[in-house]
Amino acid sequence: MRRLRAFWMRVLGALNNSSGGTELADELESHLQMHIEDNVRSGMSEEEARRQALIRLGGLEQTRQAYRERQGLPGVETLWQDIRFGVRVLGKSRGFTVVAVLTLALGIGANTALFSVINAVLLNPLPYPHSEELLTVHAAKQNFNEGSVSYLNFRDWQRDNKTLSALAVSRSTGYILTGTGASEEVRGELVSSEFFPLLGVKPVAGRLFAPHEDEIGQSPVAMIGAGFWQRKLGGRPDVIGKALTLDGRDYIVVGVMPASFNLAINNFRASDIYVPIGQFQNPALSDRAAGLGIHGIARLKPGVTLEQAQADMERVSRGLEATFPAEDQGIRARLVPFKESLVREVRPLLVVLMGAVVFVLLIACVNVANLLLARSNVRAQEFAVRSALGASRGRLLRQLLTESLILSIVGGGLGLVLAAVGTQALVKMLPQGLPRAAEIHMNWLVLCFTALISLASGTLFGFAPAMKMFKQNVQSALKSGGRGTDVANHRMQDWLVILQMASALVLLIGAGLMIRSMVKLSNVDPGFRSKGVMTFGLEAAPEMKDASPDAMRAYLREAQRRIALTPDVEAASFSWAALPMMSDDEQYFWLEGEPKPASQNTMRSAIRYLVGADYLRVMGIPLLRGRFLLDTDDEKSQRVIVIDDVFARKFFGDADPIGKRIHLDQFDDPALVVGMVGHVNQWGLDSDLVNPLRAETYQSMMQLPEVQLSMVVLGMDTVVRSKSGATPSFKSIERSVTQMNQEQVVYNPETMDDVISDTLATRRFAMILLAVFAGTALVLASIGMYGVISYLVGQRSREIGIRMALGADRRDVLRWVLGRGSRLALTGAGCGLIVALALTRTIAGSSLLYGVRPYDPSTFLAVMVLMMGVALAACYFPARRATRIDPMKALRTD
């Protein structure tokens, strides 16, 4: 015993020595010889003496292995062995590997691409300091929960609140730029002096507006965008202090804004020109009751909550209501978190799409799991042999998971490539105006997401064959040689196919509901004939704003005449204030015989279209009663008004509205109702019915007072209808207009068909993506069904041969195989139907459906028929192969 103890002390010493490998071998051999000699002296034979010595020492190889593990990193070495072996095994099954990798790449790539969008739009913080403190500010009023704010109310809110560290406002506009070449319409933004400091945005050159510069009546100054600076002014460094002529006035440039600045909220655009809002050339800026499209942005004081700020602004609003009851009755400040204002319209859409793409990944993982299960039966003898040779179940489990992770990592890498391409495609497909679209790109968070779902999916689909291996009987596997059937294996594969079918059905139903909604919307009558109609903006020459009212009206008549005489133009009309699905304006009024309301906010209201006499002809709106506006309805004639059928029903009931009089706010004389027309969907095909403001009026632009006429000529919409039904030539129209005056500008041509299409862009985007995801899911599910049935036919070919030898004909075999697939598909459809009934309510809640119930029977039935047809088609080919099995060959197979 002393000698054995000394031996192990020397071994431990050798293990701690840097040259312990050689010394250990020498030490082992020395002690082995010593024990052999002792055993021989005691009378043992040479062979027996050596055997007993080895037993006493505990085994040479075990000692060497312990030494190697002590000297190295066994976990890393084992992992490296597993990886090399896994790569070798997968390389031998190239067909399986390619299918598995492509399937995973499709699922992972789709998830990564959509996550890139969600990360940029919903998850990333806004690019402003302490962006969580930012709020948007609106006026809650009649018909509008987030209406525009009057300039005077803004100033009072700014002065009287106690919870906001800063409050600013902005309003989009446009200018005619002259003096730098051809006259050009440029995008403008009116902002208060606090606007840029509040957001923490600094100019790349020059300075920001001083507080006094946005007061009414101050000298005109402007800031320019970096894009405009480069495009129009060549990026000249001496631009600061220079003058730009906008609408005939010289504005001194005081700063240049960075090109990256784009607020993308409340119609705010990346603008060419920024002007202090106090310099807005609109007399209504001093009217406390006029909103003028102005909206605000604010920053909370540190430690103040949204609820505290809202309560504080309620106090301020009530104070103004008491002070100015005629203008501010019922007006309340409304605060909304800035990020919420940006993303609330698209959040439901993106959440639904992310849920859909997760289903696609789940189906892809199930598909690969099914492939691995089928393959594991072939490898059953391999694992049985390794287990019989001493490999532990943990060791085998580690090997299986390593192979699964290799597949998922390679699939994730390929999926990342697909995601990069898919993200670019998604950005091009995104609806116009999607907030933060410019921020969508692949970044470290997206890469981490890809890595995470790759590892998670590898673990997920590797779990099924691992569980099968745990339940494997080594002796049975060695006897069957991987050729027997495994009932438990079939059962697990069946459940995986059912899961695939259920998931695919859910996606197909979602896509079907979206498609039916789009079909319903395409059949909605917008109230006008859009084909062949084009709209564009027109701004008169800057000097026209100082012309007399008669000169302005003469200009409008001549401009309309010239446009109408353009080749292929059938009719033309101007429109101001409102245009269907593009812009809106309100007309406050009270009916004849009613007392005048105390304030504007308690008056009745309707949408107001200020148009020319040919507007009805251009837009193709049906005349229901009386007449429309005439060229003679001008400043010298009685004020007239045309109403739509919604207005008539709401305010006149069953009475004939023709000949009735309506008192219009801001006008002394009442307007005579001379006609009734059909209703136009002002708020879009899908939103008009739910909007509280639907009644519409049409008034003659020629009957506007001088103050409003001066605003009309500096920016109005023009609508034209072509004779051929095709889109009119904008270049021909532009030539007709510029022949009158080189300084007047036409801009932003757009067909009314495109206008309608733009209102449906979000729904169309969701429908296309859901349809793509659902189609992908159906293909993957059908591949899974095909794989399972093919595996079943291959594993049970002997049984099929026996059946046919005993008298079963080919039709019986075909029915048996198809019946098996049908049962799986029906079970999956039943499970998916239950899930779909619950999940489609989410789509309904997101307002993505129109005219279709979330549990629409026809959609559900059509989808189930489609899925069953695809499932049977997937089963048919292996079933047909089963009917061609030769019974004699099958019976000879061991």
271 plus 155 within the same structural domain = yes
Q: What is the 3-state secondary structure (H, E, C) of 818-865?
A: HHHHHHHHHHHHHHHHHHHHHHHHHHHHCCCCCCCCCCCHHHHHHHHH
160 plus 265 within the same structural domain = yes
638 plus 766 within the same structural domain = no
Domain enclosing residue 554, as ranges: 541-743
Instruction: Report how far residue 577's alpha carbon sits from residue 290's, in angstroms, rounded to the nearest whole number.
Output: 13
What percentage of residues in the chain have a pLDDT greater than 90? 29
Instruction: Report how far residue 105's alpha carbon sits from residue 367's, in angstroms, rounded to the nearest whole number.
Output: 12
Asked whether residue 459 carries a pLDDT value surpassing 80, the answer given is no
**Maximum pairwise Cα distance, the chain:** 141
362 plus 282 within the same structural domain = no
Of 72, 99, 122, the one marking the end of a domain is 72
Residue 206 has what pLDDT?
Answer: 92
User: Predicted confidence band at 73 (pLDDT cuts at 50, 70, 90)?
Assistant: very low
User: Predicted confidence band at 613 (pLDDT cuts at 50, 70, 90)?
Assistant: very high
User: Predicted confidence band at 20 (pLDDT cuts at 50, 70, 90)?
Assistant: very low
Asked whether residue 15 carries a pLDDT value surpassing 50, the answer given is no
Q: What's the rounded mean pLDDT across residues 605-617?
A: 95
DSSP 632-657: T-STTS--EEEEEHHHHHHHHTTS--
Q: What's the rounded mean pLDDT across residues 100-107?
A: 85
In the chain, how many domains are there? 4
Helix axes of 2-15 and 20-41: crossing angle, nearest 10 degrees: 170
Residue 19 has what pLDDT?
Answer: 45
Asked whether residue 536 carries a pLDDT value surpassing 80, the answer given is yes
483 plus 560 within the same structural domain = no
Report CA dihedral (60, 65, 71, 74) to the nearest 10 degrees.
Answer: 180
Give the chain's mean pLDDT: 83
Which is higher by pLDDT, 822 or 378? 822
604 plus 501 within the same structural domain = no
At 662 the three-state DSSP class reads strand
Asked whether residue 92 carries a pLDDT value surpassing 90, the answer given is no
Residue 768 has what pLDDT?
Answer: 86
CA distances to 265, 279, 330, 591 from 296, rounded to whole Å, are 10, 17, 19, 34
pTM metric for this prediction? 0.79
Q: What's the rounded mean pLDDT across residues 15-21?
A: 46
659 plus 546 within the same structural domain = yes
502 plus 576 within the same structural domain = no
**92-96, 201-205, 246-250, 723-727: segment of lowest average pLDDT:** 92-96
Instruction: Report how far residue 342's alpha carbon sits from residue 231's, in angstroms, rounded to the nearest whole number.
Output: 29
Residues facing residue 221 across a β-bridge: 252
Contact by Cβ (8 Å): 338, 265? yes
Residue 271 has what pLDDT?
Answer: 84
545 plus 499 within the same structural domain = no
Listed ranges 334-338, 442-446, 479-483, 812-816; the one with the highest mean pLDDT? 334-338
What percentage of residues in the chain have a pLDDT greater than 70? 85
Q: Which amino acid is at 164?
A: L
User: Predicted confidence band at 1 (pLDDT cuts at 50, 70, 90)?
Assistant: very low
Place of tokens 């039904």: 725
DSSP 247-288: TTEEEEEEEEE-TT----STT----SEEEEGGG---GGGG-T
770 plus 888 within the same structural domain = yes
Asked whether residue 323 carries a pLDDT value surpassing 50, the answer given is yes
Place of tokens 């459809």: 829
Q: Which amino acid is at 349?
A: L
Q: What is the 3-state secondary structure (H, E, C) of 136-200?
A: EEEEEECCEEEECCCHHHHHHHHHHCCCEEEEEEEEEEEEEEECCCCCEEEEEEEECCCHHHHHC
58 plus 175 within the same structural domain = no
Asked whether residue 304 carries a pLDDT value surpassing 90, the answer given is yes
In the numeric block, which tokens belong to residue 721?
């209808």
Asked whether residue 114 carries a pLDDT value surpassing 80, the answer given is yes
852 inside domain: yes
Which is higher by pLDDT, 536 or 366? 536
Radius of gyration of the chain (CA): 39
The backbone torsions φ and ψ at residue 141, rounded to the nearest 5 degrees and listed phi first, read: -150, -175
User: Predicted confidence band at 890 (pLDDT cuts at 50, 70, 90)?
Assistant: low
pLDDT in tens, 191-200: 999 999 999 9
690 inside domain: yes
Residue 628 has what pLDDT?
Answer: 96
Q: What angle do CA 471, 472, 478 make, to 5 degrees?
A: 170
Residue 289 has what pLDDT?
Answer: 85
366 plus 263 within the same structural domain = no
Asked whether residue 267 carries a pLDDT value surpassing 70, the answer given is no
Which is higher by pLDDT, 256 or 89? 256
Listed ranges 656-660, 666-670, 858-862; the one with the highest mean pLDDT? 656-660
Of 303, 329, 355, the one marking the end of a domain is 329
Instruction: Report how far residue 95's alpha carbon sits from residue 711's, in angstroms, rounded to the nearest whole number.
Output: 71
Asked whether residue 700 carries a pLDDT value surpassing 80, the answer given is yes
Instruction: Report how far residue 854's alpha carbon sits from residue 843's, in angstroms, rounded to the nearest whole number.
Output: 8
User: Predicted confidence band at 64 (pLDDT cuts at 50, 70, 90)?
Assistant: low
pLDDT in tens, 235-262: 888 899 999 999 888 999 999 998 878 7
244 inside domain: yes
Asked whether residue 656 carries a pLDDT value surpassing 60, the answer given is yes
132 inside domain: no
For residue 38, give every residue at least 6 positions away whose Cβ sits within 8 Å of its Cβ, in sequence order, or none: none
User: Predicted confidence band at 151 (pLDDT cuts at 50, 70, 90)?
Assistant: very high
Contact by Cβ (8 Å): 372, 461? yes
423 inside domain: yes
95 inside domain: no
Of 19, 40, 72, the one marking the end of a domain is 72
Contact by Cβ (8 Å): 790, 459? no
Q: What's the rounded mean pLDDT across residues 212-216?
A: 85
At 522 the three-state DSSP class reads helix
474 inside domain: yes
- Return the H-helix or E-strand segment holding 94: helix 94-118
CA quadruple 771, 776, 781, 785: dihedral sign:
positive
Which is higher by pLDDT, 806 or 110? 110
Which is higher by pLDDT, 382 or 782? 782
Q: What's the rounded mean pLDDT across residues 545-556?
A: 88
208 inside domain: yes
For residue 228, give every residue at least 6 positions away whose Cβ sits within 8 Å of its Cβ, in sequence order, or none: 186, 272, 273
User: Predicted confidence band at 844 (pLDDT cuts at 50, 70, 90)?
Assistant: low
Q: Where are the alpha helices (DSSP H) in 687-760?
A: 706-712, 730-738, 752-759
Residue 439 has what pLDDT?
Answer: 76
